[in-house]
């Protein structure tokens, strides 16, 4: 008689004929079952018992293109489904993926696959943050154009992502350096300009002498060095473009309260914004009574009392004392270092029309990041002292009432108001007249976006001698970059040298004018990309509001902690602005945020600080030493970097272990938010290799049991075997509940794998008759395979194909003619949710069973309460009273508590 494996091989060979155009059904004994999809073993005619390295490679080679094709066919147009928008931060196309990329995209891919299986309408888009200094510098080094360098890198990295089997919505792909994209970046800039939220002023800026460009404050590290080049940053006065992010400080600070927990990131955002208790107000400036045409903005924490101002104070580093200000000479003549100095310059409040003198402070620093503030003696003892010392006049504008409340006096239409009401009314009026009034903190600065480099979005403004700055008409967008063949990276903006591009007619008066030659900070490009993904092909607007309203907010945003302040703040700002422009209904762009940790590699460093390659290290002794000099080395774990020789090439790792193994090891190594120490000898990689073997063995055992020809008959199970099957049923439901919670709430995918490993072990311990006759075993094995599919899609696709081949299945609720990734996510059985009110907890003493104690269901998982109830029971009183309990262990899954007693 032929063996089970021969019969299975025969069945598989018949299936191969079916796939090649053979009959639609195959026979197994006297039964007829539907033909079903098979893995690569349909080519060999044999199901392989061992899951070897070659088996893994064959499985992935077979399933990779099929899963890719299957994903491409999934429609995203069914708006009747609930939506789920999962977004991982798009990469800068540096040329090659690193393990950090693989980790974040594996997490997002796993979540996307899970949500599709839950019946959600999912988008999981990908694109390229393609502008910026690194591309320009790399192109200069290689004598290439930045665009050709960038496009080449994108092409290569896209192939790398494809080889990883990631289920991105590639039809939504965007590239920020494409005119089709940056046209709309320019459109949004013009909308900001029209709203008074984009402006140009001379400012003391951080200048990178190596990259020859301006850096935002956030791009300078704590040592005063550039975050890109590492050069010591210099201070320089230049006319720069700013976006008025301070206008949304209060709204963005308040909106944080409505967001779910962001693993500490909300606190970082709140700290970055600061306490929003005051506002800036605008002033025109005079010298000796003569109007100069210059303006300034100054901060006060008590704008309601501004009618009592005595002066406007500036620090010695204020822009008016430097650069190209017409007031520079008058202010510098009045400056006496180390003293508070009254100047001939006066400031006229554009809201109240009050005129007060400008004072240069002896102190070089003010609160927060301020370089100017309004002096109001009624609310500040320091301002009172300064006013008295310099003989400045002022009016007291706050009266304390008999009941202790404070009201305004001598404050025009605000007289008689409470301070709170006056604050709200005055700041609202200032905003309406566009002379300040946006409630903000004393630490938050407006966003400096000017960059004096070529490879960025051109700022769509034209400078006209007659009209001043004029935005490019929207119909004329995009303003594309001119073709510049020779870039040096030195000096001012390369765009200034493209005379044919720079010289243009003024859009307003048609006179001779010049284009703005600065480009935008690349953070502008990435501040709105999540909107474009919702409607990436739109040629008429940045996005369709209806589509954005359907998909937004992003349900889960995944990225590195290094972007938790700047990028997140700018992205939130743009979303708030688009809401106020009636472009979207949601203010906040991201619902849940998952900040993944770094992947660190081991480094070996000489006392001189030089990093060594691993081949230069002798690891044979008790401590690592230099292979040549035998010098002892400092061994640390640091973020992977080429310069530190501790990087790992993802392609080499995938080639060695397979896609699913790499995915599982990255997910199993730790919670997503924690750093990973990458070492192939640690528990993660060997652990997931063993687990894949167990999954294969489980399916093999089940297929073999059913291939013998015995008809599964649940009624043949003994009471003990039915109890065993019942425990598997309970364990399966418990795991489904726990795994689903992790997928939807805390994203602890390492815990997901742990739970599935536990279920695998329980199934491996099942008796042979339970494997053959129990629907509970079959259901638990199928549920296990389905739940593992988002993390290991190739392996589980092959396992499912094998399970689908088995005849006389007892579980009819699976779609056996569809692949594992198209199965609905397992649900907890309703009967499991209707647990009995009382659980019989088995009591063990020193590992020996002693009886059972009834415990209410609601406390059956609480060790302390179960412990107490056992001690209070008749059994506890009889066996434990007066004895010294060393420790107790509760197993809620098996309803068991084990007491270990002192001898």
Residue 200's pLDDT is: 93
Q: Show the tokens assigned to 646.
A: 């501790």
% of the chain exceeding 90 in pLDDT? 64
Rounded Cα–Cα distance for residues 560 and 100 (Å): 9
Per-residue pLDDT reduced to its tens digit, 657-707: 999 999 999 999 989 988 888 876 666 888 999 999 999 999 999 988 888
785-821: burial string, b at 16+ Cβ within 10 Å, e else: bbbbbbbbbbbbbbbbbbbbbbbebeeeebebeebbb
DSSP state of 742: I
Question: Stretch 387-399: mean pLDDT, rounded?
Answer: 95
pLDDT tens for each residue of 638-656: 888 777 888 788 888 899 8
User: Is the confidence at residue 491, as pLDDT, over 70?
Assistant: no
253-262 confidence digits (pLDDT tens): 999 999 998 8
Say whether 547 sits in a helix, a strand or coil. Answer: helix
At 836-854, the pLDDT tens digits run 778 889 999 998 889 999 9
- What secondary structure letter does DSSP report for 79? T
Q: How many CA atoms lie within 13 A of 302 on its CB side?
A: 17
| pLDDT over threshold 90, residue 471 | yes
Q: What is the mean pLDDT of residues 607-631?
A: 87
Q: Which of 56-70, 482-496, 769-783 has the lowest average pLDDT?
A: 482-496
CB atoms < 10 A from the CB of 187, how many?
17
Average pLDDT over residues 561-577: 93
Task: Tell me the HSE value of 345 on the side-chain side, using a 13 A CA sphere.
Answer: 29
Query: What pLDDT score was predicted for residue 206?
Result: 84
pLDDT of amino acid 11: 40
pLDDT of residue 710: 78
DSSP 8-state symbol, 26: E
Asked whether the predicted pLDDT for residue 5 surpasses 60, the reply is no
Q: What is the DSSP string of 161-190?
A: HHHTT----GGG-EETTSHHHHHHHHHHHH
Task: Kindly tell me if the per-residue pLDDT of 223 is higher than 70.
Answer: yes
Q: What is the pLDDT of residues 502-530, one digit of tens each?
A: 999 999 999 999 999 999 999 999 999 99
Q: Residue 545: its pLDDT value, please? A: 97
Sheet containing strand 213-215, strands side by side:
213-215, 198-208, 234-243, 447-448
What the block records as the tokens of 612 is 């060594």
**β-pair type (590-596, 554-560):** parallel
Whole-angstrom CA distances from 109 to 125, 441, 550, 588, 788 are 10, 39, 21, 23, 13
- Residues whose CB falls within 8 Å of the CB of residue 432, separated by 6 or more in sequence, listed in order: none
d(CA 144, CA 489): 13
Q: What is the pLDDT of residue 409?
A: 95
Q: Which of 501, 519, 555, 568 is nearest to 185 (CA)?
A: 519
Residue range 582-606: mean pLDDT, rounded: 92
Q: So what's the pLDDT on residue 30?
A: 32
**Under a CB-based contact definition with an 8 Å cutoff, are residues 208 and 224 in contact?**
no
Would you say 173 and 126 are in contact if contact means Cβ atoms under 8 Å apart?
Answer: yes
| Per-residue confidence (pLDDT) for residue 32, from 0 to 100 | 31
Distance in angstroms (rounded) separating the CA atoms of residues 731 and 594: 29
pLDDT above 70 (res 28): no
Give the N- to C-terminal CA distance of the chain in Å, as an integer: 59
Distances in whole angstroms, Cα of residue 897 to Cα of each of 730, 755, 873, 900? 18, 20, 14, 10
Predicted local confidence at residue 3, as pLDDT = 42
Give the model's pLDDT for residue 46.
67
Q: Please say if the pLDDT value at position 34 is more than 50.
A: no
* Report for 36-50, 183-197, 201-215, 484-498: range of highest mean pLDDT: 183-197
Q: What is the mean pLDDT of the chain?
A: 89
Q: Please state, in angstroms and rounded to a whole number, the distance separating the CA atoms of residues 790 and 823.
A: 11
The C-alpha angle with vertex 757 and arms to 755 and 758, in degrees rounded to 5, equals 65
What local confidence, expressed as pLDDT, does residue 728 receive? 95
Residues with Cβ within 8 Å of 833's Cβ and at least 6 positions away in sequence, in order, are: none
Q: Is the pLDDT of residue 17 over 70?
A: no
pLDDT for 338 beyond 80: yes
Q: What is the pLDDT of residues 123-174, one digit of tens each?
A: 999 999 999 988 888 888 888 899 999 999 999 999 999 999 899 999 999 9
Report pLDDT digits (tens) over 798-831.
Answer: 999 989 888 888 998 999 989 999 999 999 998 8
Handedness of CA 191, 194, 195, 196 (dihedral sign): positive
Q: What is the mean pLDDT of residues 32-37?
A: 34
Average pLDDT over residues 551-557: 97
Q: Mean pLDDT throughout 860-869?
A: 91
Least confident of 230-239, 463-472, 714-723: 230-239
d(CA 76, CA 112): 13
From residue 368, how far is each of 275, 309, 372, 858 by CA, in Å?
A: 10, 21, 11, 52
Give the model's confidence band at 754: pLDDT under 50 very low, under 70 low, under 90 confident, else very high: very high
How much is the pLDDT for 680? 64
Give me the mean pLDDT over the 604-623 stretch: 87
pLDDT recorded at residue 29: 36
Q: pLDDT over 70 for what percent of the chain? A: 93
pTM of the model: 0.86
Q: Quote the CA–CA distance of 29 and 17 in Å, as a whole number.
A: 18
Tell me which of 376 and 615 has the higher pLDDT: 376
On the question of pLDDT at 263 being above 50, the answer is yes
Please tell me the least confidently modeled range out of 30-44, 107-121, 352-366, 856-870. Answer: 30-44
The pLDDT of residue 21 is 35
**Predicted confidence band of residue 7 (pLDDT cuts 50, 70, 90):** very low
Reported as a pLDDT band with limits 50, 70 and 90, residue 303 is very high
Mean pLDDT across the stretch 547-572?
94
pLDDT at 20 over 50: no
Answer yes or no: is pLDDT of 415 > 60: yes
Name which of 83-87, 211-215, 552-556 the model is least confident about.
211-215
The count of other CB atoms within 10 Å of the CB of residue 53 is 12
Query: What is the predicted pLDDT for the residue at 110?
Result: 98
Tell me what the mean pLDDT of segment 392-399 comes to: 95
* Higher-pLDDT residue of 316, 221: 316
**Rg (alpha carbons) of the chain, rounded to whole number:** 35
Label residue 212 by pLDDT band (50, 70, 90).
confident
**Of all residues in the chain, what percent are helix, strand and coil, respectively (each to 5)?**
40, 20, 40
């Amino acid at each position: 008689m032929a063996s089970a494996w021969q019969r299975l091989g025969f069945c598989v060979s018949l299936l191969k004929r079916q796939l090649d155009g053979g009959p639609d059904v195959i026979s197994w004994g006297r039964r007829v079952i539907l033909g079903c999809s098979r893995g690569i073993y349909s080519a060999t005619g044999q199901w392989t018992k061992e899951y070897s390295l070659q088996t893994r490679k064959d499985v992935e080679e077979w399933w990779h293109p099929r899963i890719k094709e299957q994903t491409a066919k999934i429609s995203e147009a069914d708006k009747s489904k609930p939506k789920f928008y999962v977004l991982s931060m798009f990469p800068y196309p540096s040329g090659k993926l690193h393990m950090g990329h693989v980790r974040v995209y594996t997490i997002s891919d796993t979540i996307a696959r899970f949500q599709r299986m839950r019946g959600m309408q999912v988008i999981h888009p990908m694109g390229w943050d393609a502008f910026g200094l690194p591309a320009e510098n790399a192109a200069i080094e290689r004598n290439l154009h930045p665009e050709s360098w960038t496009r080449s890198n994108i092409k290569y990295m896209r192939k790398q992502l494809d080889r990883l089997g990631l289920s991105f919505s590639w039809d939504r792909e965007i590239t920020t350096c494409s005119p089709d994209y940056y046209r709309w970046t320019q459109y949004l800039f013009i909308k900001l300009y029209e709203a008074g939220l984009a402006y140009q002023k001379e400012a003391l800026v951080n200048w990178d002498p190596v990259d020859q460009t301006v850096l935002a404050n956030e791009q300078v590290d704590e040592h005063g060095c550039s975050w890109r080049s590492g050069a010591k940053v210099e201070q320089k006065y230049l006319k720069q473009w700013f976006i008025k992010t301070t206008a949304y400080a209060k709204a963005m600070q308040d909106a944080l309260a409505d967001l779910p927990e962001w693993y500490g990131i909300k606190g970082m955002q709140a700290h970055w914004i600061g306490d929003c208790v005051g506002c800036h107000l605008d002033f025109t400036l005079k010298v000796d009574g003569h109007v100069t045409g210059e303006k300034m903005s100054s901060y006060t924490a008590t704008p309601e009392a501004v009618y009592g101002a005595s002066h406007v104070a500036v620090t010695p580093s204020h822009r008016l004392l430097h650069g190209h200000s017409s007031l520079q000479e008058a202010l510098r003549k009045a400056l006496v270092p180390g003293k508070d100095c009254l100047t001939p310059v006066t400031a006229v409040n554009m809201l109240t029309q009050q005129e007060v003198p400008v004072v240069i402070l002896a102190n070089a620093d003010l609160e927060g990041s301020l370089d100017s503030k309004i002096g109001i003696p009624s609310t500040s003892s320091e301002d009172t002292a300064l006013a008295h010392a310099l003989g400045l006049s002022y009016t007291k504008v706050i009266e304390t009432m008999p009941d202790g409340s404070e009201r305004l006096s001598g404050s025009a239409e605000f007289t008689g108001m409470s301070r709170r009401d006056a604050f709200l009314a005055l700041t609202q009026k200032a905003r309406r007249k566009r002379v300040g009034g946006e409630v903000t903190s004393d630490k938050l600065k407006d966003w400096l976006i000017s960059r004096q480099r070529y490879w960025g979005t051109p700022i769509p403004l034209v400078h006209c001698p007659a009209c001043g700055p004029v935005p490019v008409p929207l119909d004329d967008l995009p303003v594309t970059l001119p073709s510049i063949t020779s870039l040096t990276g030195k000096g001012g903006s390369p765009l200034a040298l493209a005379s044919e591009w720079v010289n243009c007619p003024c859009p307003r008066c048609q006179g001779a004018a010049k284009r703005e030659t600065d480009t935008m900070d690349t953070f502008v490009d990435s501040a709105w990309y999540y909107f474009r993904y919702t409607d990436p092909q739109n040629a008429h607007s940045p996005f369709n509001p209806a589509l954005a309203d359907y998909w937004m907010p992003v349900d889960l945003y995944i990225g590195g902690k290094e972007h938790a302040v700047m990028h997140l703040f700018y992205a939130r700002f743009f979303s708030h602005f688009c809401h106020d422009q009636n472009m979207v209904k949601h203010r906040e762009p991201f619902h849940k945020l998952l900040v993944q940790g770094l992947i660190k590699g081991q480094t070996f460093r000489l006392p001189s600080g030089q990093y060594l390659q691993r081949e230069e290290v002798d690891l044979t002794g008790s401590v690592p030493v230099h292979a040549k000099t035998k010098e002892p080395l400092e061994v640390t774990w640091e973020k992977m970097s080429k310069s530190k020789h501790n990087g790992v090439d993802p392609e080499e790792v995938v080639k060695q272990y397979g896609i699913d193994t790499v995915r599982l090891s990255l997910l199993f190594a730790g919670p997503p938010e924690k750093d990973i120490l990458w070492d192939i000898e640690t528990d993660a990689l060997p652990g997931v290799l063993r687990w894949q073997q167990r999954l294969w063995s489980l399916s093999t055992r089940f297929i073999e049991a059913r291939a013998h020809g015995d008809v599964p008959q649940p009624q043949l199970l003994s009471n003990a075997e039915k109890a065993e099957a019942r425990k598997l049923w309970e364990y399966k439901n418990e795991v489904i509940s726990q795994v689903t919670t992790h997928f939807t709430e805390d994203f602890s995918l390492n815990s997901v794998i742990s739970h599935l490993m536990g279920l695998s072990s329980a199934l491996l311990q099942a008796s042979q008759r339970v494997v053959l006759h129990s629907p509970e075993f079959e259901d638990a094995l199928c549920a296990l395979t389905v739940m593992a599919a988002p993390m290991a899609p190739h392996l589980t696709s092959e396992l499912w194909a094998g399970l689908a081949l088995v005849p006389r299945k007892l579980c009819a609720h699976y779609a056996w003619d569809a692949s594992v990734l198209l199965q609905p996510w397992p649900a907890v059985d309703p009967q499991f949710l209707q647990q009995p009110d009382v659980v019989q907890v088995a009591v063990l003493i020193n590992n020996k069973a002693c009886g059972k104690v009834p415990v209410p269901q609601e406390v059956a998982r609480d060790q302390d309460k179960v412990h107490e109830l056992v001690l209070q029971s008749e059994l506890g009183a009889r066996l434990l009273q007066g004895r010294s309990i060393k420790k107790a262990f509760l197993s809620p899954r098996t309803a068991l508590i084990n007491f270990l007693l002192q001898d």
